[in-house]
């Protein structure tokens, strides 16, 4: 698959097989993230590759508990509202039970923290597609990046004092019949283009 095909057929996968991803493939995805551009070539992204089932469960449980304690109304950003309402119901899993969660942290006091994070995540999602793996951007840990219980847990995993989470993604084999991600293109009706 060439670069254009990998970009144009990348879609979000939200249903995963529990099967582990081969370490070699995980390594290639991480490499794609580490080779993303960074502002001023700062290379300050910190990648957490979470595959441990207990750690995945703990992160989901902490996020669910934090969201369940929040209030949402009509003015709340729809995706955040969805996380809050589903958490209040119980059984919410922001990581869609995918076998791999990649969390990207960066320095809190660095102006390009989110931009550098997202450049890496997009590289990794495109690489995942090229490797026949499904992926999906995950924003919940960014929304909760000052939540004390999650901060404490992530600190235990190696998050440094000056770092916060700015983005995440999940990775794994899609729960489709053939295990391949659904690649049907989604029409782009927005994303205006102006030639000058
Ligand atoms: C900044 C950003 C945040 C996103 N957050 C989430 C998320 O938390 N959960 C999720 O399922 N999808 C999330 N997405 C995925 C979008 O919903 C998805 O890319 C969009 O609907 C287009 O679909 P496609 O990825 O299949 O082309 C996010 C995407 C971006 C760029």
The per-residue DSSP string of the chain comes to --HHHHHHT--B---B-SPPPPHHHHHHHHHHHHTS--GGG----EEEEE--HHHHHHHHHHHHHHHHTS---TTS-HHHHHHHHHHHHS---TTTT-SEEEEEEEETT-TTHHHHHHHHHHHHHHHHHHTT-EEEEE-HHHHTTT-HHHHHHHHHHT--TTEEEEEEEEEE-BSSTTSPPP-PPPP---------
Model confidence band, residue 102 (pLDDT cutoffs 50, 70, 90): very high
Check residue 149 and give its pLDDT: 97
Span from the CA of 137 to the centroid of ligand 1 (angstroms): 5
Ligand 1 pocket, residue 15 CB under 6 Å: no
Model confidence band, residue 23 (pLDDT cutoffs 50, 70, 90): very high
Ligand 1 pocket, residue 137 CB under 6 Å: yes
Protein residue whose Cα sits closest to atom 26 of ligand 1: 11
Atom of ligand 1 nearest to the CA of 83: 8
Span from the CA of 140 to the centroid of ligand 1 (angstroms): 11
Best residue among 60, 82, 134, 137 to mutate for probing ligand 1's pocket (most ligand atoms within 8 Å of CB) is 137
Check residue 123 and give its pLDDT: 98
Q: Where do the domains of the chain lie, and which CATH numbers do they carry?
A: 3-172 (3.40.109.10)
Span from the CA of 150 to the centroid of ligand 1 (angstroms): 22
Tell me the mean pLDDT in the region 159-180. 98
User: pLDDT tens across 114-136, in order?
Assistant: 999 999 999 999 999 999 999 99
Tell me the mean pLDDT in the region 56-64. 98
Q: Mean pLDDT across the chain, nearest whole number?
A: 97
Ligand 1 pocket, residue 168 CB under 6 Å: no
Model confidence band, residue 10 (pLDDT cutoffs 50, 70, 90): very high
Q: Is pTM beyond 0.85 here?
A: yes
Ligand 1 pocket, residue 9 CB under 6 Å: no
How far is the CA of 113 from the CAs of 44, 166, 167, in angstroms? 8, 7, 10
């Amino acid at each position: 698959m060439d670069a254009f095909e990998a970009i144009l057929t990348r879609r979000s996968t939200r249903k995963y097989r529990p099967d582990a991803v081969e370490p070699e493939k995980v390594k290639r995805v991480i490499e794609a993230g580490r080779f993303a551009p960074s502002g001023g070539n700062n290379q300050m992204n910190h990648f957490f590759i979470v595959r441990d089932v207990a750690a995945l469960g703990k992160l989901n449980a902490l996020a669910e508990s934090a969201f369940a304690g929040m209030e949402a109304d009509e003015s709340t950003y729809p995706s955040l509202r969805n996380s809050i309402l589903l958490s209040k119901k119980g059984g919410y899993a922001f990581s869609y039970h995918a076998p791999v969660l990649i969390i990207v942290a960066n320095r809190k006091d660095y102006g390009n923290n989110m931009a550098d994070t997202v450049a890496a995540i997009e590289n990794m999602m495109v690489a995942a597609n090229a490797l026949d793996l499904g992926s999906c951007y995950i924003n919940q840990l960014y929304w909760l990046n000052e939540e004390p219980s999650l901060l404490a847990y992530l600190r235990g995993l190696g998050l440094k004092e000056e770092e916060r989470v700015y983005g995440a993604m999940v990775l794994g084999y899609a729960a489709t019949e053939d295990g391949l991600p659904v690649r049907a293109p989604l029409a782009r009706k927005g994303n205006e283009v102006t030639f000058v």
